Structure 1
């Protein structure tokens, strides 16, 4: 059960050096002098620290929202605690809730569905209150966990770019901050933040990984975050290159698309093939391993199918993609 008493001044213990550091990080992602920022606050120490820093810097242009996914009975109390915390300092706050999206495909697990609902609700609320940015409290330790989880799944460059500092109007100004630093900001303000039991439950892969990482002292999260940023830059460069190549290497031919993959690195061919599939079947569920199998089959001169798209290698310079015929019912 979270505490019920909120301190009267949320920002009294933030020292000028800490605030100046945050100001620089926020300024790299938005315009603190004019933007209205919606802070996503779960009640945990990371998001409360983000709230304290943002409010100290932006004043009334800092607003807050807490998403109650309806997955835990304690969540309503935690949201109410955040509401009290915000009310004590005059921060506009709302509790957001909605129905989880239906499970679709192989990867739509509970965490993914909750994340989809969370961002959908935050985007809608940002529109309603005129927020220009949505800030979340992902930090350097989160980045390490994310990269290791994705390495363990065999992710490519895009996955290893980790958590992005910016995704549309969602910004993450704390990616250079450690979890302990954020906890210290909250403790200095005299706040005992909410602890989500799922963060320490062995039922969840991330929580188990977090416990293992706590015993390792040779990983430098700031360096890992720098590597993730470099990979994000590399991913952006590849996306730009594929967009340019698509105009030269993909052509419409009646109801088909023709791709010329000659002399291109495998990764560029793979992405061009994915582009063809998505143009023909925007709803296609494309798993990385299945996409690799399709490309290898086409390189071998074979036919292949993925989603609702059939592909055939007419020659090394001409791969045809078209909508697959409907399957016959037995």
Structure 2
């Protein structure tokens, strides 16, 4: 198993726990994004802690692409590097140190953005990272304070990343809200996210059955005869659009607008796929290429 260790208290606690649970079967990695002058030295500190535990350690240096959100670009680069590292080292899974406080923050952020059930499920316990490798979060039931205490008891000094206190980031403001609002308890919010994750899995299972039983191929098209609640229709429609476009997940607001049009008996295109309401059901087919305005 691999562990991603940034050097903060959460990931150092994960390193300590994983080394105890899996002696001799662990490898650690620190991703150096190069965004702060101190990052190289911090990665070296993690390497020293790993050496003391007898855990092999690698430093993965990445370049963060330009974009509207540095955090989002850094996250994408980090997971890409961890996935490649895991495959190169024959690792079955990579663990990260997300905990209950992270889960509570994520739920509140997604509530503020108007997310659906899938988004409100928050941070999942596991998902695919790359082919043959799972991304796992074994500490979602732990509070941050407990992880900090565990690192202190080991006599280690955790790295303090000032970007975690940057008011320009939504998560920083949500973290402050939680700390200043006693009735917003992280454990309860994390339990709600877990319940929503269960609900999302149940909906996905129903949608998968609907896809199997109510969709058939007609030439180059897919014909869907909906029989379920709108949320199930929504999930099936998203799956069919992904299948025909070979693209990513349709954006929620765009998908909702498409459903409104089709449920009213019309048609709409999304992600290069045309969806039409017909007597036999909803027809999904590749949208015709746009006509060029250039003579």
Fold shared by both chains (TM-score > 0.5): yes
What is the match of residue 126 of structure 1?
86
Q: Secondary structure at the match of 1:59?
A: coil
Any stretches of 5+ residues in structure 1 without a counterpart?
A: 1-36
Any stretches of 5+ residues in structure 2 without a counterpart?
A: 129-133
Q: Would the aligned equivalents of 2:121 and 2:193 in 1 still touch at CA under 8 Å?
A: yes
What is the match of residue 323 of structure 1?
286
Q: 1:102 to 1:239 in 2, by over 3 A?
A: farther
**In 2: Cα distance, 1:132 partner to 1:311 partner:** 40
Q: 2:268 aligns with which of 298, 304, 319?
A: 304
TM-score of the superposed pair, with normalisation by structure 1: 0.82
Q: Secondary structure at the match of 1:72?
A: coil
Q: Deviations over 1:38-91 (max 9, x none)?
A: 111000001011111111222222221101122222211211111122123322
Query: Does 2:76 correspond to 1:116?
Result: yes
Q: Would the aligned equivalents of 1:285 and 1:307 in 2 still touch at CA under 8 Å?
A: no
Query: Does 2:150 correspond to 1:185?
Result: yes
Q: Would the aligned equivalents of 1:298 and 1:313 in 2 still touch at CA under 8 Å?
A: yes
Q: Secondary structure at the match of 1:60?
A: coil
Q: How many residues align?
A: 288
TM-score of the superposed pair, with normalisation by structure 2: 0.92
Q: 1:136 to 1:182 in 2, by over 3 A?
A: same
Q: 2:203 aligns with which of 220, 223, 238?
A: 238
Q: Deviations over 1:169-207 (max 9, x none)?
A: 221111111111111111112222101111001111101
Task: Quote how far apart the aligned CAs of 1:101 are.
Answer: 5.8
Q: 1:274 aligns with which of 238, 242, 248?
A: 238
Q: Would the aligned equivalents of 2:178 and 2:186 in 1 still touch at CA under 8 Å?
A: no
Task: Quote how far apart the aligned CAs of 1:303 are.
Answer: 1.5
**In 2: Cα distance, 1:132 partner to 1:156 partner:** 31
**In 1: Cα distance, 2:248 partner to 2:194 partner:** 29
Task: Quote how far apart the aligned CAs of 1:265 are.
Answer: 0.4
What is the match of residue 84 of structure 1?
48
Q: Deviations over 1:264-316 (max 9, x none)?
A: 2010111111122111101256110110110110111112111211121123x
Task: Quote how far apart the aligned CAs of 1:139 are.
Answer: 0.3
